[in-house]
Structure 1
Amino acid sequence: MKYLILFAVIVMMNGACRHKGDYQPVFDNPGLYSKSVYELNSVVMDNNFSPVVAARNYVYANIAAYECIAAGDYRFVSLVGQIKHMPVMPKPAEPAKVNYHLAALLSLIKVGNAVTFPEGALMDYWQNLYDKADSAGMPADVLKQTVAFSDTIVSAILKWSKGDNYAQTRSAEKYTVTVEDGRWVPTPPAYAQAMEPHWCEIRPMSLDSASQFAPPAPPVFNVKSPTSHFYKDVMEVKTVGDSLTDEQRHIADFFDDNPFNLHVTGHAMYATKKFSPPGHWMNIVGIATQKAGKDFSTTVAAYAATSIALFDGFIACWYTKYKTNGVRPETVINKYFDPNWRPYIQTPPFPTYVSGHSVISNASAEVMTYFLGDHFAFTDTSESEFGIANRSFRSFRDAAQEASFSRLYGGIHYRSDLEQGNEVGKKVGAYVVSKLHFQRNQNQLSQNK
C-alpha cells in the first residue's frame, strides 16, 4: 500500500511539473496571434467602421503588440526613434518574468478594445487569454508581471494615439457638395455625405506628409470629345460593366470589401457587412505567414508593418481624393449617357481619384513581399465566410493588381484612378520598409552573440 501511495505521489508531481511548463507552447503559437487579430477584425466589421478608421484601429493595436515583441526578442527593433513622433516605450520591471508573446496578445486586444466600440467589446476575449495562461500553468508571478508590462505598453500607446488629430477631425468642417461638372456628389442608394474629408490631416506613421507621394492631376473632365482621356475612361467603365464575364464578377465580389452595403427594395432597407479593404489585408497577412511557417515574432512584425502601410496609404490617398474631388463614373454615366445604368458593386461615398483599394493593396503587397519574398503563392480564403469562392495568387503584387482592377469591374473607378493609385501604393509600401527597420541584420545579430 505504501508503494502505491508513493507511486501516486510521484505521478502527481511529474504531472504538476509538466503542467507548469505547458504554457510555453500555448503562447508560442503564431496562429493564436492571427486569431486574435481576427477577433479585432470582427469587431471592426460588426460595428461599421469605415475603412480609414479601421486602418487606425489596426495600426495602434498591432504596434502595441510589436513593441512587446521588440522588448523580448533581440531579432526585432523597436519603432521608437524610427517613427519620429513615437514616445519611448516603458520597460518591464522584471524582464525575466515576462512572457512576451502573451504580453503582445493582451496588448493587441486591450488597445483594440480602446479604439473601437462598443465599450468592452473585446474584454471577454482578453479574459479568455488570461484564463488560458492560468489554466496552462503559467506561474502566478510570470502572469502578474506579463499583465503589468502589457498594461504599461497599452497606456503609452493610447496616450500617443491621442495626438494624431483623430479627435479634432471628428468635429471638423463638413464637406460642401456643389454641382459643378466633374466634382464629386453623393451617389445612390444611400446618397451619403462625403466620408472622412479631413483624413489627410491625420498624423502619418512613416510618411513625412500626406502629399509626399501625390500623383499627377487626373484627366480633365470632358464628356464631349470622344478622343479625350476622360471620355475614354468613362466609356471603358460603361462598356466593361455592360459585358462582365463570370470571372470579372467573381473578382469584383471578392474584393468588394464593403463594410456597409445598403440594399433598398421599395421602402425597405437593410445592410450587409463584409471585411473592409484593410480588414481583408489583415486576413491575408495571417494566411500568408501561416503558410510560410513564420514564428510568432515575425508574424507580429508582418502585421505591424502592413498595418502601418495601410494607415499611411489611406492618408496619402485621401489627400489626393479631396484635393481633386473627382466625380464617380456612376454620376457621369447617369447624367450624360444612361440614366438607368448602375455599377456592379455599390459606389462608396467619397471622390474617385485615386482608388483607395489600389493604394492600400499595393502598399500592403510591397510590405508582405519584403517579409515573405516575391512569387510567394497563396490562396486567399478571406471571403469564404461570406459565401464567395476563394482566389489564388502567384504573389502579393499579383493580388494587389487584381484588387485594383476589381474596382473597374465593379464600375466604381476609372482606369486612371487605378493606375495612379497603384503607383502611389507601391511608393508608400516601399517607403515603409525602407524607412522603418523591423528586423536586425545578420551583422547586428552576430555582434550580440
Structure 2
Amino acid sequence: MAWNRTLLRILRTPGLQPATVHATRSFALLHTAVYNAVVAAHGVGRPYLFAVNGARGAAPQAAAAQAAHDVLAALYPSVAADLDQQLAADLAAIPDRQAREAGTRIGAWTARLLIGLRAGDGSAATPPALSPGTEPGQYRPTPPGFGAAVFTHWSAVTPWLLDRASRFRSKAYPALTSAGYANAAEEVRRLGQDTSTTRTDDQTVQARFWAAPIHNYWNEIAQSAATTRHSGLLASARLFAELNLTFADAVIAFYDAKYHHRIWRPVTAIRLADTDGNPDTVADPTWNPLAGTPNDPAYPGAHSVVAQAGADVLARTFGGGQRISVTSESLAGVTRTFNSFQDAADEAGISRIFAGVHTRLDHDAGQRLGHDIARYALHNLTDPPTPAA
C-alpha cells in the first residue's frame, strides 16, 4: 500500500505520466510484480501471468519493496532518487541480511521479467488520428477546445487477462429515433447543464466529487478497506493485483467499445438535436455541460466501467455490505460515505450525468461491461493457493 500511494503521488504530479500511456498500465505492472514477488518469497499462492523461483528464507517484504521500486523506477526514471530512498528505508527495517538479500533478488527478477513481458504490448504506439464524424450520432471533437480524440490506440494494447479486447464489447447503441435515446438525452440536458436549475446542490457536489481519474479513487478505497481489516502482506498484494489487472483490461475493453461505436457526447447531441430525427429531443445550440467533456466518444462511460469493476473485486474480497468513506481527489477535504461498494460505484457513474458528459445509456452500458470484465478476471485469477513454481 505504501508503494501504491507512491504511484498515486507520481500520477498526481503534472508531467510525469506520458500523455499517451494510460495510468492503469502502471498500476497493473506495479501490483502484479509485487504480488508475484511476495508469492515467490512466501512459497504459497498462485502467481499471475508467470512464476519465478523462490529462495528458502527470503523476506517477502524485501521482495515486495524491490519489485515495486524497480517497476516504478523503470516507468518514471526522473523520480528514481526518491524511489531509491523509499526502498532503502524499507530494506533497513528488515534486520536479517540473508533474508533481505534473497528477497531483493526475487523482487528484482520479478520486476525485470514483467517489464520485459509487457515491453511490446502496444502501449508505446502513436495514437492514430480519428476522423470527426459527420452524421447524427457520430462522435466529433467537443467545445470549447475541440481537442483530438485520445487513446485511439489503446484498444490494440495486448490485454492482461482477456483473450481479446472485444470479448464483452457493449451492444449496439439505441437508435437516435427511439424513446430510450430521447429520455436519456433529455435527462442530461436538464441535469447536466452548467446553469441547470433542476440539478440539486448534492448532485452538483457529486459531479465535482468524482471528477478525477476514477481508478485513483478505487485504489484509495482499496487502501482504506485493506487497512481497516488489517490485511496481511500476501492478502493485500493479491487484492491490489486483482483490482489493477481488472482495471487494466477494463480500460482496454472500454476503449475498444468507444472507438467501435463512436457515439457523440451530450454537448454535441444536444446542440445538434434538430438533426437526430427524434421529435422528442430538444436542440439548444448554446448548451454547455457542468464539467469539461473528455476527448473521446461517450459510449460506454469510463467511470461506470471502472467503478463497477472495482466494486465487484472489492465485494468479492470483503463482502458487499461494507460501509465505506471516500475522500475526493478533486474536491479538497470532501468525504462521502456509502453503505456498500456498489453504492459508491452507482454514484460515481451517475455523477457523470450530472456533470453533463454522459447519458444514462453510457452509464448502463458501462456498468454491464465493468461487471463482465470483473467476473471474467476473478474467475481466471481465483484458485486455491498452490506452491509457486
Same fold by TM-score, threshold 0.5 exceeded? yes
Change beyond 3 A, Cα 1:120–1:139 = farther
Picking from 268, 292, 300, the partner of 1:354 is 300
Q: Which residue of 2 aligns with 1:11?
A: none
SS of the residue 1:46 aligns to:
coil
Does residue 1:108 correspond to 2:75, yes or no? no
Q: Which residue of 1 aligns with 2:5?
A: 38
> 2 CA distance for matches of 1:179 and 1:202?
28
Q: Deviations over 1:8-30 (max 9, x none)?
A: xxxxxxxxxxxxxxxxxxxxxxx
Alignment of 1:196-275 (within 5 A): 196-222=151-177, 228-241=179-192, 242=196, 243-257=198-212
> 2 CA distance for matches of 1:56 and 1:284?
19
Alignment of 1:127-146 (within 5 A): 127-134=85-92, 136=93, 138-146=95-103
SS of the residue 1:120 aligns to:
helix
> 1 CA distance for matches of 2:202 and 2:20?
25
Does residue 1:91 correspond to 2:91, yes or no? no
> 2 CA distance for matches of 1:321 and 1:365?
22
Change beyond 3 A, Cα 1:386–1:405 = closer
Does residue 1:398 correspond to 2:343, yes or no? yes
TM-score by length of 2: 0.89
Deviation at 1:335, TM superposition (A): 3.4
Q: Which residue of 2 aligns with 1:9?
A: none
Q: Which residue of 1 aligns with 2:277?
A: none
Q: Deviations over 1:71-103 (max 9, x none)?
A: 1335521114xxxxxxx43324xx234211222
Amino acid at match of 2:140: V
Does residue 1:326 correspond to 2:288, yes or no? no
Identity over aligned residues, as a percent? Answer: 25
Q: Which has the larger radius of gyration?
A: 1
**Unmatched segments (≥5 aa) in structure 1:** 1-33, 81-87, 258-275
Deviation at 1:129, TM superposition (A): 2.6
CA RMSD of aligned residues (A): 2.2
TM-score by length of 1: 0.78
SS of the residue 1:56 aligns to:
helix
Amino acid at match of 2:191: V
> 2 CA distance for matches of 1:377 and 1:438?
28
- The range that moved more, 178-187 or 368-377, is 178-187
> 2 CA distance for matches of 1:287 and 1:340?
43
**8 Å Cα contact 2:130/2:149 also seen in 1:** yes
**8 Å Cα contact 1:51/1:277 also seen in 2:** no
> 1 CA distance for matches of 2:290 and 2:80?
35
> 2 CA distance for matches of 1:103 and 1:431?
29
Q: Which residue of 1 aligns with 2:285?
A: 339
Amino acid at match of 2:323: A
Deviation at 1:215, TM superposition (A): 2.1
Structure 1 outlier segments of 4+, above 6 Å: none
Amino acid at match of 1:111: V
State the aligned residue count.
373
**8 Å Cα contact 2:41/2:106 also seen in 1:** no
